[in-house]
Every structure is written in C-alpha cells, then in structure tokens.
C-alpha cells in the first residue's frame, strides 16, 4: 500500500505541517519531518482527527473547485445570447435614468423611489424574453436594500474594466456627475460581475441571476460568523494541543533528569555531580553502608546502582562500545565516498586459504610461515583491474578461535574456503557460525578442484545442510570453483567479490578523524610496540593522537602492507602503526582524538575501569568453585578441553559427558585431541574459561607454568570414570540446592504469663520431639498458622534451658509476639539444604 507524505495532507486541508506532526506524535506515531511518509490507514485516521478538531480550512482548497464550477457556469451565459442582450439592455436603462435625474439633484431621497419603480418595470420587459418571474421578486428585495451595500459595491469597480464593454462609457459619466446616482451605479455594477467573478463561492451564482442583496448580506454575515467560530475553535484546539505537547515534554524532561549514565569506574566526586548532591553527603551514605570512601575513590557498579536507587535515580551503565560511539563524531552524508570492501578468508586448516590469497596477490606468503600455517592475521590491500579489495587472512587451526572471531567483526564479505577433496570440517562449520553471527554475506570458494577425488557437488550438498544453498540449486549463496595452485576460477571469484561489494554500497567519510580496529600487534625489539590497524572511516595521519583499549599514543610512522612509509591512510586501508604506549590487544577499537591530552584522559579513565573491573571480576572456573560461580550468575556453561593418549579415550569421555543431562547447565567440549597438554591448550582454556582434562598424558613444563600463571584448572586422570564422577559432582553443586523443612518438635500451650519487660510467656507441654532455644517456630491456632518466628527464651522452671525433651513442661517466649492463647500449638522446625541428586 502506497504512503502519503505529511506535507501533502497539510496542503490538502490547509493545516500547518507542524500541527500534523504534533498530532501524529500525540497519536503515538512520531515522525521526523514534513517529508515523512505514513500509510493510508494512518492517513485516514489523521483526516478524521483533523475534521473532528475542526482544523480543516476550506478557503485554500475551494477556489480550485469554484473556478471549475464557475467556468462551467460561465460558459452557459456565452451560449445563451439572449441573456447577454438582456443584461446589456438592463445596463443601458439605468444609465438613461441617471441622465434624466440630473436636474432634481438636491432632492436625493425622493429620487430613489422613481428608480425603484422604473427598475421594477424594466426587468419585466426583459423578463418576458427570459420568462423568469422569480427574478422580479428578488429584484424588489435587492433594490429595497441597495443602500446597505454601498461599501461592498465600492470594492467591485476593479473588476469592471475587465468585463464591461458597452456599459463603462455610460456608467463612468454617471458615477462622476453626482453622488445621488450611486444607487443606480450600484445596481449596474452588481450586475456586471456575474460573468467575471469566478472565484466567489455561491455569490457569483446568485449575482448572475441578479440575486437579492438582503439575502446575500445575511448569507455572507452568517458565513463570516461561521468562519470566525471555526477559526476560534481551531485556535483553542491548537492551544490545547500545544499545552499537551508542553506537558509531555515537561514529563519527559523530568524522567530524563532522574536517569543518569555512568561507567564502571566512577569516582565519588563524579557520582555526586550526577545525582546533584554534595560529596560529603555521598561519603556519609557510603560510610553508613560500611564502605570507607574518599573524594577521588572509585565505587563499583553494584554500589553505584544501590545508591542511585535509594536516591530515586535510574542508573545505566555506559559500556565501552557506547563510549566509543559517543566519542566519535556523526557522519556527514554528503561527504561519504565508496570504499574498498574488506574480505576475510575463512575455512578449515590446510584447505588453502593463504594459498588462495597468495595466488591473488602473486606473492609467496605461505612459504614464510612455520609449517605452512598462518600464525597471525594478515591484512593485505590488493589492486585489481576493476577495483581495490582488502583481504584478511585468519589463522586456520583451533587455537586461534578468538582471532578468527575478531577477523569477522571488521569484515564486509566472508570467503569460505572448502577443499573439494576434503569436504566440510568442524572449523568450516565454526566459520559459518561466526559469519552468520556477524550478519556478513558468505561466498563459498571450493578449492583444489584440480585434485583427483574432488567432488564440488558433494560440498554443495553438505553446505546446504547449514543454510548455504548454491544459486545453481535455487539458493542465494554464490559458489565459485577455484584452484589456488593453477589459478583456475580466480578471475570469476574476484568478479563475484566486486559484484557483492557493489550491492552492499560500502561507503565511508574520509574527511574526519580516523577510527578503526587493531588486527594484530607485536613487540618489536628495534621499533617497540607495533600494531596493524585497519582504518574503517576517516583518514589516519602521522602525528594523530589515538586511544586503543586503555592505551594511548601518537602516530609516529605509517607503513603499508608493502613496507612503504605513508603520510596518511584512508578508509579500508590496512597499515602498520608505530607510537603505542604498550602492546594493544588484537580486536581492540582504534579511535583518533583531537589532541593527545584528550586521548590521555580517556586512556586513564579506561585504566580505572579495568582496575575496578579486575577487583570484582571472577577468576577462571574450577571444579571446586562451579557452584559459587553459578549462584552469582557468572556462568551457565561448563567448557571442557580433553587431551588423551588415544582417540578412543576422547570419544569415550565425550559419550559419557553427553549422557549427563541437566537442564540448567550445558557441557561444551571445545577441543579434543591426542597428545600432551601444551601451551596452546592452556591459551584456549584461558580465552574460553575452560577446564583441561588429561588421560594418561602430562602437561609440558611451559604449559604447567602458564596454567599456574593463568589459574587454569588442569585435571589429570588415569581412569575415565573418575573424571566423569568429578564432573557430575561439580554439576550437582552448580544446581540450586533443594531446601527441606524438618519438624523438630511440638508443644501445647496450657498457661500464659505476662512478665514486664519480657512480654508473654507460654507455659507449654512438649508433646513430640524437643523444644530448642533459637530454633524457628510457628504458632498454630485452629490448624492455621498465626505467626512464624523464633524462640527467644526457653526455661525449665526458673532456669534457662538449651532444649527441653518430649514429655516435659517448659516456658517458651516467641520473638516480638505476645498474642498467645490457651490451646495454641507451637511447632518447632528447621530448614536443611539438600543437594540435588542427578
């Protein structure tokens, strides 16, 4: 259904654009401007609102209709020539009367009566031709009230030169000769406009028939009163609407004033400024909560939320990404230009990702890397005949899962490389999940098609099970068959990349401060901290001050992927940067600020946030603290890395872990391989917060040191079932415990005593179990629980007692409760925590 723009409705009803925008806001449909479009259903609702509120102003619209009507009606007199002649004759006769009445000029009042009689007689002769007896009646009324229209008639001569042809010569002398002739002139002039006044509404119609002026005056005055009433009503509605809008805005401002945004590292001074209170008052409240604070001391997020809620403020934590977005200036749409696409090559290890990029770049990247496997993320800018493409080559084996995830977060297009002779592997599926999570289009490159045993159709079939259906089979995923070794299909692949980039319409503003991401980083002995940066937007220049994570610095040198020094780097350009204050983490944002002082301030604030976060952040998960972590809501998954001396052991453990079915805890086997526990396993466990389990294997010395340093839980077993038992017991601890109530005794009230400064004491007889001091108890009357509390005093005769056994009498006092009556029953109970058994 097509939409209607706001300004079209405003033009249709003659209503200001702002009034319609305010009305839509009041209806719950806010719009940005008068150019916004609304659907027809909402437009109909708005039309009804306009009519109900009387905002419709017919004057701007009706002239168009009136002109159409009058033109049609004006055409009729042209065809009716006798009417025209009658009109001219009528115009001539009053002129003659005006000439005859020159002599008796002093007597003005008597002169009007003959005019009335003569004008009555003349139209009769004209009416005999037209046979319209109704006109004579109207003329009488009109002539009788001619003096009332003196003011109106004076405005009409401006139409006279354009319409009258024969009458003007006679009418003008009559007008100039004496004021007494004005009534005759009025009649003459009121007849003329019937062929000209096409813009009048119904008056033009009456004047063509020579209507009565008395009725016209009543109609015009009535119309004027109606218009005034409508305008007053419109003004009142607008005032009411404006008042409602102001009230809504005032309410919004009040709500916004009670909503504050802070980051995780907020000092006492900053918090006091946010809530508009004195620092000493905030410090006093913190001391009352047992938190000794000073002016510049930071408070954690939980304490800030608690304090804000007590003061009636709504608090929102500002995430680091929001800070980055807030600090970056808004884009100027007019300055956006097309930028090269960033393409990430992903896939399983040894499926030919780097070799494919090598073929495209016409260089030998793979030969310089250990084992032919990419050890770090590479970013390369490739100039093609039809455009420029930036390629990211992510590492292929499982130890670099986090780096591969970062690679996809900065990319525009993903090329999924699958070997035609190997098929879909675990990392292939993992790469699909990364691309889908990042909402990035995927192009599939079926590599090694020249090898014997290559079956591209089998690859298409396998990938179709993961929602990647080839265009050849009616899907929307582009599949390209290539060979990185021989170069077959490379041109088609590049063409598809540029076509996809053209569809995406990738643009960036080069005329602004740069922003990007860290792709990789290292500590060079000669140059210090070095990082590869991919610029997303803006232009990075030598000398720019920047912030990445909690580090800051100034760009001292820019080196491109060919090793050449550059003065600047534009959007989608990977470059190496010198000038960091430390080695940044890969995947961190890179933002340029106006000066180094501002960058230093932001970096210090982030360092404070990291410090506060580090004080409250949990350690790595261990089997011993799983229950504590889950109760805090920190984890709901148990990630496990399995290393064993045989593949059968790994499969046996995975099968046993799959058999453990618990709703609230999910077991994830992140990695399983044959061999000893290495540093790579510990690094993966650190990144994913996993537990490492080994069977008949030992960690290397470096892996052991790294595990101790990173506090990773490494469990070594010789028997599989021992590991399963440990995991089961840890998972049972993770679950919320079951609480069970156990009744320890019952006592019947047989007498009550009131003791001053103590309260009511019940003289009881223990009927079952035993009565224990400080135990929980409930007072039961007529099988209904009246009170639940604790036993504060228990006496045996006059002596205090710890407990009173079954069959003995005692005195019992309940905590803060005195309404105890005879025949009441006091039931003692305790609540025990029972572990849930699987």
What pLDDT sits at residue 89?
41
Dihedral angle sign, alpha carbons of residues 288, 290, 295, 297: negative
CA 205 to chain centre: 59
Distance CA 528, CA 294 (A): 38
Contact 518, 553 (CB under 8 A): no
Kindly give the pairing relationship between strand 803-805 and strand 759-772: antiparallel
CA 407 vs CA 183, 546, 676: distances in Å: 94, 21, 29
What pLDDT sits at residue 42?
83
Helix (H) or strand (E) holding 792: strand 784-796
On the CB side of 158, CA atoms within 13 Å amount to 4
- Torsion, Cα 545 547 552 555, to 10 degrees, reads -40
Structure-block tokens of residue 506: 């990738």
Contact 353, 303 (CB under 8 A): no
Contact 23, 46 (CB under 8 A): yes
Distance CA 309, CA 316 (A): 11
Q: How many CB atoms lie within 10 A of CB 718?
A: 9
Which distant-in-sequence residues (6+ apart) come within 8 Å of 357 by Cβ? 345, 365, 378, 380, 391, 393
Structure-block tokens of residue 298: 């930071």
Distance CA 299, CA 310 (A): 16
CA 567 vs CA 232, 540, 563: distances in Å: 68, 8, 13
Distance CA 10, CA 31 (A): 14
* Measured distance between the N- and C-terminal CA atoms of the chain, rounded to whole angstroms: 58
Coil, strand, or helix at residue 811? Answer: strand
Residue with tokens 């469990």: 715
On the CB side of 753, CA atoms within 13 Å amount to 13
**574-580-586 Cα angle (round to 5):** 55
CA 581 vs CA 82, 535, 547, 554: distances in Å: 102, 19, 10, 9
Low-confidence ranges of the chain (pLDDT < 50): 1, 60-209, 320-329, 363-377, 396-408, 615-618, 735, 837-838
Contact 791, 780 (CB under 8 A): no
Distance CA 39, CA 19 (A): 18
Structure-block tokens of residue 533: 């940066």
What pLDDT sits at residue 190?
41
What pLDDT sits at residue 764?
94
What pLDDT sits at residue 112?
42
Alpha helices in 659-785 (DSSP H): 679-688, 701-710, 720-734
Phi and psi dihedrals of 488, rounded to 5?
Answer: -70, 135
Which distant-in-sequence residues (6+ apart) come within 8 Å of 250 by Cβ? none
What pLDDT sits at residue 409?
61
What pLDDT sits at residue 592?
92
Q: What is the DSSP letter of 370?
A: G
Alpha helices in 258-275 (DSSP H): 268-275
816 closest CA partner among 777, 789, 794: 789
As to burial, measured by CB atoms within 10 angstroms (0-12 exposed, 13-18 middle, 19+ buried), residue 377 is: buried
* Helices 167-177 and 81-100, axial angle in degrees (round to 10): 30
| pTM beyond 0.85, yes or no | no
What pLDDT sits at residue 315?
74
Q: What is the DSSP string of 77-146?
A: HHH-HHHHHHHHHHHHHHHHHHHHTTTT-S-HHHHHHHHHHHHHHHHHHHHHHHT-HHHHHHHHHHHHTG
What region, left, alpha or beta, does residue 487 occupy, with left being phi > 0 and alpha being psi -120 to 50 degrees?
left
Dihedral angle sign, alpha carbons of residues 269, 274, 278, 282: negative
Which distant-in-sequence residues (6+ apart) come within 8 Å of 79 by Cβ? none
* Domains detected in the chain: 63-211 (no CATH), 259-318 (no CATH), 340-505 (3.40.50.300), 515-616 (2.40.30.10), 623-734 (3.40.50.10050), 739-834 (2.40.30.10)
Distance CA 535, CA 779 (A): 73
Q: Which residues are 390's β-sheet partners?
A: 342, 381
Phi and psi dihedrals of 35, rounded to 5?
Answer: -90, -5
User: For 554-593, how does the pLDDT look when each residue is reduced to its tens digit (9 = 90+)?
Assistant: 999 999 887 889 899 898 888 999 998 888 877 788 899 9
The full length of the chain comes to: 838
Distance CA 640, CA 209 (A): 100
Distance CA 90, CA 122 (A): 7
Coil, strand, or helix at residue 523? Answer: strand
CA 66 to chain centre: 49
Cα Rg for the chain, rounded, in angstroms? 47
Distance CA 534, CA 407 (A): 11
- Torsion, Cα 39 42 43 48, to 10 degrees, reads 170
Structure-block tokens of residue 512: 């602004």
């Amino acid at each position: 259904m097509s939409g209607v723009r706001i300004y079209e409705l405003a033009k249709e009803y003659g209503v200001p654009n702002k009034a319609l925008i305010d009305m839509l806001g009041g209806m719950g449909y806010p719009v940005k401007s008068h150019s916004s479009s609304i659907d027809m259903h909402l437009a109909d609702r708005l039309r009804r609102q306009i009519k109900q509120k009387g905002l419709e102003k017919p004057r701007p619209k009706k002239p168009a209709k009136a002109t159409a009507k009058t033109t049609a009606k004006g055409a009729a007199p042209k065809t009716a020539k006798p009417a025209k002649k009658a009109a001219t004759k009528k115009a001539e006769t009053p002129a003659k009367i005006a000439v005859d009445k020159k002599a008796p000029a002093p007597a003005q009042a008597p002169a009007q009566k003959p005019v009335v009689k003569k004008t009555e007689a003349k139209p009769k002769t004209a009416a005999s031709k037209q046979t319209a007896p109704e006109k004579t009646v109207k003329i009488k009324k009109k002539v009788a009230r001619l003096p009332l229209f003196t003011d109106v008639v004076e405005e009409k001569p401006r139409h006279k030169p354009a319409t009258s042809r024969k009458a003007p010569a006679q009418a003008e002398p009559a007008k100039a000769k004496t004021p007494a002739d004005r009534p005759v002139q009025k009649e003459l002039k009121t007849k003329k406009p019937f062929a000209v006044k096409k813009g009048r509404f119904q008056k033009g119609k009456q004047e063509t028939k020579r209507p009565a002026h008395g009725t016209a005056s009543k109609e015009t005055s009535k119309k004027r009163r109606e218009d005034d009433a409508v305008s007053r009503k419109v003004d009142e509605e607008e005032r009411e609407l404006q008042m409602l809008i102001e009230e809504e805005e005032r309410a919004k401002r009040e709500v916004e004033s009670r909503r504050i945004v802070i980051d995780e590292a907020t000092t006492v001074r900053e918090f006091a400024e946010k809530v508009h209170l004195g620092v000493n008052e905030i410090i006093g409240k913190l001391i009352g909560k047992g938190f000794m604070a000073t002016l510049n001391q930071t408070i954690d997020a939980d304490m800030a939320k608690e304090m804000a809620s007590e003061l009636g403020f709504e608090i929102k934590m500002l995430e680091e990404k929001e800070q980055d977005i807030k600090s970056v200036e808004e884009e100027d749409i007019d300055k956006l230009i097309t930028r090269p696409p960033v393409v990430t090559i992903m896939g399983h290890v040894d499926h030919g990702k780097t070799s494919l990029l090598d073929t495209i770049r016409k260089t030998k990247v793979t030969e310089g890397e250990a084992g032919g496997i990419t050890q770090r993320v590479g970013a390369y800018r490739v100039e093609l005949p039809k455009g420029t493409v930036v390629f990211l080559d992510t590492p292929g084996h499982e130890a670099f899962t986090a780096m591969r995830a970062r690679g996809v977060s900065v990319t525009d297009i993903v090329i999924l490389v699958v070997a035609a002779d190997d098929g879909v592997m675990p990392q292939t599926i993992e790469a699909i999940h990364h691309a889908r999570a990042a909402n990035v289009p995927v192009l599939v490159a079926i590599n090694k098609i020249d090898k014997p045993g290559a079956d591209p159709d089998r690859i298409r079939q396998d990938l179709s099970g993961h929602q990647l259906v080839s265009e050849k089979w009616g899907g929307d995923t582009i599949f390209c068959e290539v060979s990185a070794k021989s170069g077959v299909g490379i041109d088609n692949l590049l063409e598809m990349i540029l076509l996809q980039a053209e569809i995406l319409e990738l643009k960036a503003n080069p005329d602004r401060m740069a922003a990007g991401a860290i792709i990789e980083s290292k500590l060079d002995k000669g140059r210090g901290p070095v990082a590869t940066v991919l610029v997303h937007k803006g232009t990075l220049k030598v000398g720019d001050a920047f912030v990445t994570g909690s580090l800051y610095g100034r760009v001292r040198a820019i080196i491109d992927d060919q090793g050449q020094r550059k003065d600047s780097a534009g959007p989608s350009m990977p470059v190496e940067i010198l000038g960091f204050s430390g080695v940044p983490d890969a995947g961190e944002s890179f933002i340029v600020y106006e000066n180094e002082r501002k960058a230093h301030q932001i970096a210090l604030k982030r360092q404070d946030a990291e410090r506060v976060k580090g004080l409250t952040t949990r350690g790595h998960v261990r089997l011993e603290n799983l229950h504590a972590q889950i109760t805090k809501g920190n984890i709901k998954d148990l990630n496990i890395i399995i290393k064993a001396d045989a593949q059968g052991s790994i499969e046996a453990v995975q099968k046993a872990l799959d058999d453990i079915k618990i709703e609230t805890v999910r077991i994830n086997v992140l990695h399983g391989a044959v061999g000893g526990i290495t540093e790579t396993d510990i690094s993966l466990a650190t990144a994913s917060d996993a537990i490492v389990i080994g069977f008949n294997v030992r960690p290397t010395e470096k892996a052991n040191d790294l595990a101790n340093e990173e506090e990773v839980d490494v469990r070594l077993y010789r028997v599989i079932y021992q590991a399963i038992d440990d995991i089961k017991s840890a998972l049972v601890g993770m679950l919320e415990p079951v609480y069970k109530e156990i009744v320890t005794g019952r006592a019947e009230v047989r007498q009550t005593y009131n003791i001053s400064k103590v309260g009511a004491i019940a003289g009881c007889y223990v009927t079952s179990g035993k009565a224990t001091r400080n135990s929980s108890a409930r007072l039961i009357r007529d099988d209904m629980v009246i009170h639940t509390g604790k036993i504060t005093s228990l006496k045996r005769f006059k002596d205090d007692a710890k407990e009173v056994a079954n069959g003995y009498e005692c005195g019992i006092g309940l905590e803060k409760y005195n309404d105890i009556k005879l025949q009441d029953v006091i039931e003692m109970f305790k609540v025990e925590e029972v572990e849930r058994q699987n």
